Amino acid sequence: MSDRQSGSARSSRLSSTAPRPVVRVRMLSTGRWRPPQEPAAEAARRTARLIAVGAALPGMGKSVVASNLAVAIAGLGRHVLVVDLDQAAPRQHALFGVPPAADVPRATGIRNVRLWPAATELAGVRDPGVRRALIGGLGALDADVIVIDLAAAHRDDLWEFFAAGDRILVSTSEPRALAATYAFLEQAAGRAERRHGSEARAELARFAGGLIGNAAGGAEDAESFHAFGRKVRAELGIPLLPLGYLRQSARIDAAIAAKRPLVARTGIDDDVRQFHQMAQVMMAAPEDPARSCALDAATAPEAAPSAALELDHYRRKYPRFVVDWAATLELGLSGPNAVRVRDISESGAAIETTLHLRAGDRGRLHFYQLDGQPMLEVVVRNVVPTLSRAGVGFVDGGETAARVALAGRDRLALP
């Protein structure tokens, strides 16, 4: 079922049957599922891209996120290898419905996705140096992308991958979960300071990773993840970007019971769209070894997380809503440039764009898919070049901004 079909039974307050003028712009990707492409030529092969998925506490859903993200990335034509480093409680083979891998990568029944036998390779390894060397060689495995499911209990692995590759932290919006995640990042900042001294902030600014919120109940929980990201950036100097959030979903539970990742099953819902969008964002970000931020080894006891985490100061007045709209952005005298709107609120929006934007740039954002093709004057608030994302604020929102945000809340204007 397409995105358009899924919303056809509803009538948007901003929808209209009136003909709309043609807008000729270069469209960006829609985030929908596409069949995997054929393997790339061997000559084009290179070191595999590493994506490490971890959590500060067990039970956050990191294994489910890792499996579904792997399938979504494979849908973009990449050969993906899933590595389960949680030797105490491995879950990836169960999530894919296959026996544990023995001594060679095992097929999962999903095109372009395999499992690597980490348990066999690491069994009996007690020397931390040997373990680090084995894990450090993962990039040489035969794959385009390697998705690594880290064990929450094995903190050394979490620290090892904090400083290399693309890092994803998974958390629910529960206070204890966010407090533990913040404590983990606070410890990372402390390790950076011990290693780099006054240059610690500059090193942490190279962090290439994001936060995925799990089991969100609604817009309030989603805003908690965004407020958390703002707090981490402001207080710790780590550019942790909320990549998306997954709702509390019976379909995810059903997929786990059926032993097949949700993204590989029939049907498209908000969570499936989220995985596809996150996969596209991560694969669009350029690989850059300079983004590594090495940390000091543990030389002091790590503090336990606090009982509560104050986020009110970082919460926005207006809730934001995840969307996937095509729009155009005009800067100065330039013509329309295609962008994708990823979330919306009455105060502003997050957009994906290939434009080289800078904080303070002003322009006009045209929502040409909505009734009346509303336009809002915007100013660029922040830019995340590694993910081709920018946050824009509405200069004079008023009724127009309220109408656009209402469309986002009702989710009735998807392309």
Q: What is the CATH classification number for the domain harbouring 387?
A: 2.40.10.220
Residues 252, 315, 170, 221: what is their CA dihedral angle, to the nearest 10 degrees?
Answer: -20
Which of residues 263, 297, 313 is at a domain's end? 313
Q: What does each C-alpha distance from 50 to 69, 213, 283 come to in angstroms?
A: 13, 20, 11
**Both 193 and 293 in a single domain?**
yes
Beta carbons of 13 and 406 less than 8 angstroms apart = yes
**Both 111 and 132 in a single domain?**
yes
**Both 300 and 330 in a single domain?**
no
Q: Write the pLDDT tens digit of every residue in 185-215.
A: 998 888 888 888 898 888 888 887 889 999 8
User: Helix 175-196 to helix 155-162 angle, to the nearest 10 degrees?
Assistant: 60
Q: Which domain holds residue 144?
A: 42-313
Which of residues 313, 338, 373 is at a domain's end? 313
**Both 260 and 135 in a single domain?**
yes
**Residue keyed to tokens 């998807």:** 414
Residue 340 forms part of a structural domain? yes
Query: Model-level pTM?
Result: 0.75
**Both 142 and 72 in a single domain?**
yes
Q: Write the pLDDT tens digit of every residue in 98-130.
A: 988 777 889 999 999 999 878 777 777 777 777
**Both 268 and 327 in a single domain?**
no
Closest CA to 182 of 302, 295, 343, 66: 302
Give just the sign of the alpha carbon dihedral 82, 87, 89, 94. positive
Number of folded domains that form the chain: 2
**Both 309 and 348 in a single domain?**
no
Q: Write the pLDDT tens digit of every residue in 55-103.
A: 999 999 999 999 999 999 999 999 999 999 887 788 999 999 998 877 7
Q: Write the pLDDT tens digit of every residue in 129-182.
A: 777 777 778 878 889 999 999 887 777 777 777 766 688 999 999 999 999 999
Which residue type sits at 366? H
